[in-house]
């Protein structure tokens, strides 16, 4: 049975739940109905990600949520209340945006691949969260949007992740129109990898994560870091990183074991 740990502030009712079933760690946003990324929620999520990064036994991280909304993004009520501050809320707004950006950077820097398990609406910074993950599986009733333009607030921080996950013109379409796209369109745009019926979501994601977790843990960590490092670089620079990475990878224990197992026609035993 999986161990369950809840990261929360003392005054909070839930926020983030963590289930550990080695080698897979499931982090669940547990603050329905909106799973808004309030300061407290982001603190809890950041703590869960930090713990995962430090745990060598974990090979894959799944990011899920409870309720009908994956995440509605930033807590607009929390932010609006700070307009009464002496600076009109500037310091709090900057803190909120910076914390969200740091969460996305933690996901990118996490040694383990991160799979988003999406059931419901992922909007604004919630869509940014999905786009920041390495892989995403969603239900056929899920939906995605960056609706900032509808309320006079261009989704500039979600833009960073969405424009890197989706094709440029499709990303700009989402950002300029603010319209909601369905799961099929999100897959066409490049935001998600797979679409499954709702009743099979957990089953499919668990199997998906298990397949990835069965691979060499050293190769997974090296590969994710290399993928992130070369993305967006000029071709020659990208190959420089890839050549150095492959050379270093050839020298690690798992590569010696994996190649030896392949040549010896046996199953590898990862370190």
Token pair, residue 79, equals 């932010």
Parallel/antiparallel/unpaired status of strands 3-7 and 69-71: unpaired
Using CA atoms of 211, 213, 215, 216 in order, give the dihedral in degrees to the nearest 10.
180
Percent of all residues in the chain with a pLDDT value above 90, rounded to a whole number: 94
Helix (H) or strand (E) holding 156: helix 156-165
Q: How far apart are CA 82 and CA 43, in angstroms?
A: 18
The residue ranges of every structural domain in the chain are 16-213, 216-264
Read off the pLDDT of residues 26-85 as tens digits, 9 standing for 90 and up. Answer: 999 999 999 999 999 999 999 999 999 999 999 999 999 999 999 999 999 999 999 999
Angle made by CA atoms 253, 261, 228, in degrees to the nearest 5 = 50
Supply the pLDDT for residue 8: 39
Instruction: State residue 213's pLDDT score.
Output: 96
Residue 267: pLDDT over 70? yes
Report whether 34 contacts 69 (CB < 8 A).
yes
- Alpha-carbon Rg for the chain, nearest whole angstrom, is 19
The partner residues of 121 in beta bridges, in order of sequence, read: 69, 143
The string of pLDDT tens digits covering residues 161-213 is 999 999 999 999 999 999 999 999 999 999 999 999 999 999 999 999 999 99
Residue keyed to tokens 């969200």: 100
Q: Residues 6 or more apart from 59 whose CB is under 8 A from it?
A: 23, 24, 112, 212, 213, 215, 217, 220
Backbone angles phi, psi at 62, to 5 degrees: -110, 130
CATH classification of 16-213, choosing from 3.30.930.10, 3.90.1150.10, 3.90.226.10, 3.20.20.10?
A: 3.90.226.10
Give residue 2's pLDDT.
54
Over residues 234-242, mean pLDDT: 97
Q: CA dist 135 to 13, 215, 237, 265, Å?
A: 29, 16, 25, 31
Range in 7-11, 14-18, 126-130, 266-270 the model is least confident about: 7-11
Q: What is the pLDDT of residue 11?
A: 35
Measure the CA–CA gap between 122 and 130, rounded to whole angstroms.
Answer: 8
The pLDDT score that the predictor gives to residue 22 is: 87
Query: What fold does the segment set 216-264 form as a domain?
Result: Lyase 2-enoyl-coa Hydratase; Chain  A, domain 2 (1.10.12)
By C-alpha distance, which of 151, 152, 96 is closest to 125? Answer: 96
Q: What does pLDDT average to over the chain?
A: 94
CA distances from 86 to 76, 90, 167 (A): 19, 9, 41
pTM for the full predicted model: 0.92
Say whether pLDDT at 235 is over 80.
yes
């Amino acid at each position: 049975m999986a161990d369950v740990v809840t990261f929360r502030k003392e005054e909070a009712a839930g926020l983030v739940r963590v289930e550990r079933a080695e080698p897979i760690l499931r982090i669940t946003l547990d603050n329905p109905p909106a799973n808004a990324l309030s300061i407290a929620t982001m603190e809890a999520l950041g703590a869960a990600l930090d713990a995962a990064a430090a745990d060598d036994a974990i090979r894959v991280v799944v990011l899920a949520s409870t309720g009908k909304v994956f995440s509605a993004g930033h807590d607009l009520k929390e932010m609006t209340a700070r307009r009464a501050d002496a600076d009109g809320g500037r310091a709090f707004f900057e803190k909120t945006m910076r914390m969200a950006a740091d969460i996305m950077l933690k996901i990118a820097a996490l040694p383990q691949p991160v799979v988003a398990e999406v059931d419901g609406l992922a909007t604004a910074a919630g869509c940014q969260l999905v786009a920041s993950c390495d892989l995403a599986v969603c239900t056929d009733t899920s939906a995605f949007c960056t609706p900032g333009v509808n309320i006079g607030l261009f989704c500039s921080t979600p833009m960073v992740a969405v424009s890197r996950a989706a094709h440029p013109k499709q990303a700009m379409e989402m950002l300029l129109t603010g319209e909601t796209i369905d799961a099929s369109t999100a897959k066409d745009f490049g935001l998600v990898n797979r679409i499954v019926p709702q009743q099979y979501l957990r089953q499919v994601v668990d199997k998906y994560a298990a397949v990835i977790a069965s691979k060499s843990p050293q190769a997974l960590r090296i590969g994710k870091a290399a993928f992130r490092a070369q993305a967006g670089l000029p071709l020659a620079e990208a190959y420089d990183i890839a050549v150095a990475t492959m050379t270093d990878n050839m020298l690690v224990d798992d590569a010696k074991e994996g190649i030896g197992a392949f040549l010896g026609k046996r199953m590898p035993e990862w370190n």
